[in-house]
Chain A
């Protein structure tokens, strides 16, 4: 082990640990200087994902993300994009089950101005009625576009069955009916409830000018953010996956899909999650992984088979997708079961173990090459109070052994524990 460890340590050369700062009102700032990076990433994170919608608020977290760009107290609709892009920057946002984030990539000299603009935009949205009605059309188009992809439809059906009564079972985009009923007042209430100290983090990565950017952020609307009890306790409910199976006939599907979902440890349990990462890598990352080697290369039953880990605060999900002929679904399921039985019956070989460790380590460290990758990681870690050093995942990787992985993690990939969906062409 010590040999591998020696070769992994320098992999993070040049990256220090993030600097943290807590403003008087409780908002947290986290930054990591990358003096050589051509662009600064300013990334605002908030515990305001779809999990925190109340029943009548379905789709509101994502709809609000759209509305933020329709202007704020100081910025007219479209002004933010025009100004940031005129400075050579680019902006985007994403809503997840747990959180939402808004980020700007910008040349260092323009970063102070972009920072002011972003914070005003996100913390003081206008939510005007006319813009609200127009943007609702856009969200409805986004929903229609997603529903025209049969693969998306299948995935939503799987989640609905896998974790019923959990917010992760509901589409982040919402549904048509709910979207038609929302109004700006309800959205303002959602914003006020969740965008507040304790639930917000600002992350900065790149040439951040010796902390000047962070100081500047403290003076603006972020430092002025008030109200509220601390929201540190805002957490999505604990996820459980209900084993079961369903079959679905979908129009416009050309090949069958087998989807399977397993519950995995929550994102806050880093060491356990790294175990999941190792397990999914052993099972399905690359041609020499167990599932790809057997089902695609050897038996030639599938066009592809993937097993992806989705880290989430209430509990992570491992999602398997296999693409095959409808007639082969049964054989595919049988082969998956056999692969799992074999991986449990005999020890993982040394080569296989080292391969998985290298793949996991490299994928982590390659993700830290750009300022956006770094800001995303340190921002979400800070938001959910995952207090570990940047190199910690690489060190925790070393604590696992083939035996502990088998007995603590791989055992959980028993197909009998999965929620299963077979989708076939209608």
Chain B
């Protein structure tokens, strides 16, 4: 990847810009380390609420004026908290970048946090949290998260926990602002980059430089030992036709040496229609429509999750099949052909993720915000191409030995599924070496 401009703003914010041919547009991502996992005690939901408030007025613009400024130019400007970061994203026509880009800095440096807007944003977040419960997949996801992370930093939805979110006030958010950027931040642009970019971005910092820096390379504090917490199951009864199954465990942070091996396993199992789970559970057995593997990038122990939903009357077969597929990772190496296909798909996914300016800005800002090198993706691809089936099995043995199971569905599906789980070797303690 060619970076066409790089510089550091007064106070330390690194800026990287990539000029890209094509339609005259610009995508920008300002990423600040520290998201919902850094929510203060008893204030879960604070970072997402703060992110939402950033779009509700900053500097000299109140909520209406800011919306007029952005929407009046046909642009989109969003801010949200994920587990590890707070991200402000802009997507606009190139000609509007000059007016809109400085707003990114205004939003994180001088959000207005007007009481009336805090009340509205909090109410909207509470409503969204509640409405999410309509989705059985969300319920299963929440159940698994509790099993895997409990009250830990990754133990709650970035939107928060209802009772704590309901009590959040402006001063709670104000106190977070001073900490923004202390764990590092980075601004990445891709597309038609405006001339005089540096001067443009310095203006909002003119009187008050923002003390920050490129997020540091991660130390060991984020890397926890593999989970030894086995045999957990969570059941939620719902009057649905299908049973949702999510089987997962906690693994490793982005940048960990075992990362490429787990990514290849994820690709083998879940990427595309040639994926192992898709072939075995959908094409050979007709057990599910949707089946896959979820492994988000995290700065701490990321979850690795297999998921599917199947009619309640096929719960027993579906559970057996899912648990056996997980065990297979531990018990059998991939064939040479399986590994080769996974490696080809892994390279293919990389190209899929470089089609738009937004995708490019997302990816570069993601690795930089984790304290990783600009060429981290290329290095990962290289490392993945050198791995053997044995390497993958060893990584699985290190990280995937103790999954937990979250189930959502009607009683007639929950019971047989739980019985299969209880009898399966995955729930019976560590396998004998």
Q: Which residues of A contact B (CB under 8 A)?
A: 7, 10-15, 36-39, 69-70, 77-78, 81-82, 85-91, 105, 107, 134-142, 144-145, 147-151, 251-255, 285-288, 296-297, 300, 303, 323, 351, 354-355, 357-363, 365-366, 368-372
Contacts and interface: CB of A to CB of B under 8 A. Distances in A.
A300 B73 CA distance: 26
A91 B289 CA distance: 16
B131 A255 contact: yes
B286 A141 contact: yes
Interface in B124-160: 124, 127-128, 130-131, 133-136
Contacts of A36: 21-22
B91 interface: yes
A354 B72 contact: yes
Contacts of A38: 351, 354-355
Given A11-B23, A38-B351, A145 B74 contact: no
Nearest to A149: B135
B71 interface: yes
Contact of A355 (B72, B238, B311): B72
CB-CB nearest 3 A-B residue pairs: A137-B286, A358-B74, A88-B348
B242 A144 contact: yes
Interface string B66-85: 01100111110000000000
Contact of B283 (A7, A77, A148): A77
Contacts of A70: 283
B28 to A, nearest CB: 14
B273 A91 contact: yes
A151 B134 contact: yes
| Chain B interface, >50% SS class | mixed
A355 B74 contact: yes
Contacts of B357: 369
A162 to B, nearest CB: 23
Contact of A368 (B23, B134, B239): B23
Nearest to A357: B74
Contacts of B286: 134-138, 141
Interface string B93-114: 1010000000000000000000
B221 interface: no
B387 interface: no
Most central of A70, A136, A137, A253 by chain B CB within 10 Å: A137
A135 B285 CA distance: 9
A288 B68 contact: yes
Given A141-B286, A145-B242, A255-B130, A351 B22 contact: no
A254 B239 contact: no
B148 to A, nearest CB: 24
Contacts of B354: 38
A82 B274 contact: yes
Categorize the interface residue count of chain B: 35 or more
A102 to B, nearest CB: 12
B363 interface: no
Contact of A138 (B282, B347, B351, B352): B282
Most central of A36, A105, A286 by chain B CB within 10 Å: A286
A372 B310 CA distance: 31
A85 B240 contact: no
Contact of B289 (A82, A141, A288): A141
A360 B71 CA distance: 11
A13 B192 CA distance: 12
B71 A355 contact: yes
B64 interface: yes
Nearest to A371: B355
A253 B133 CA distance: 8
A81 B279 CA distance: 10
B242 A300 contact: no
A138 B288 contact: yes
Nearest to B358: A369
Given A255-B127, A303-B128, A12 B289 contact: no
B257 interface: no
A15 B23 contact: yes
B25 interface: yes
Contacts of A366: 23, 25, 91
Most central of B64, B95, B240, B348 by chain A CB within 10 Å: B348
B272 interface: yes
A89 B352 CA distance: 8
A174 to B, nearest CB: 13
A141 B311 contact: yes
Contacts of B272: 81, 85, 90-91
Nearest to B238: A252
B378 interface: no
A250 B91 CA distance: 38
A283 to B, nearest CB: 13
B309 interface: yes
Contacts of A90: 272, 348-349, 352
A297 B64 CA distance: 10
Nearest to A360: B74
Interface in B307-329: 309-311
A285 B21 CA distance: 29
Nearest to B56: A287
B351 A11 contact: no
28 contacts: A13-B23, A39-B351, A78-B273, A78-B279, A81-B273, A85-B272, A85-B273, A85-B274, A86-B341, A87-B348, A90-B352, A91-B272, A107-B351, A134-B283, A148-B242, A148-B309, A255-B131, A286-B67, A287-B63, A288-B64, A351-B68, A358-B93, A359-B71, A365-B23, A366-B23, A369-B25, A369-B356, A371-B355
B74 A363 contact: yes
A145 B93 contact: no
Contacts of A11: 23-24, 93
A147 B134 CA distance: 12
Nearest to B128: A303
A89 B272 CA distance: 9
B393 to A, nearest CB: 22
Contacts of A12: 23
Nearest to B95: A7
Contacts of B279: 78
A137 B242 CA distance: 13
B123 interface: yes
Contacts of A254: 130-131, 133-134
A342 B368 CA distance: 49
A362 B289 contact: no
Nearest to B309: A145
B23 A145 contact: no
A304 to B, nearest CB: 8
B120 A300 contact: yes
Given A38-B351, A141-B310, A86 B344 contact: yes
A82 B64 CA distance: 52
Given A39-B352, A145-B290, A286-B71, 18 more contacts: A14-B22, A85-B341, A90-B349, A90-B352, A136-B286, A138-B288, A142-B290, A148-B309, A150-B134, A252-B240, A254-B134, A286-B67, A303-B124, A351-B68, A354-B72, A358-B93, A362-B75, A369-B356
B274 A37 contact: no
Nearest to A363: B74
Interface in B337-372: 340-341, 344-345, 347-349, 351-352, 354-357
B362 to A, nearest CB: 14
Interface in B361-403: none
A257 to B, nearest CB: 10
Contacts of A14: 21-23
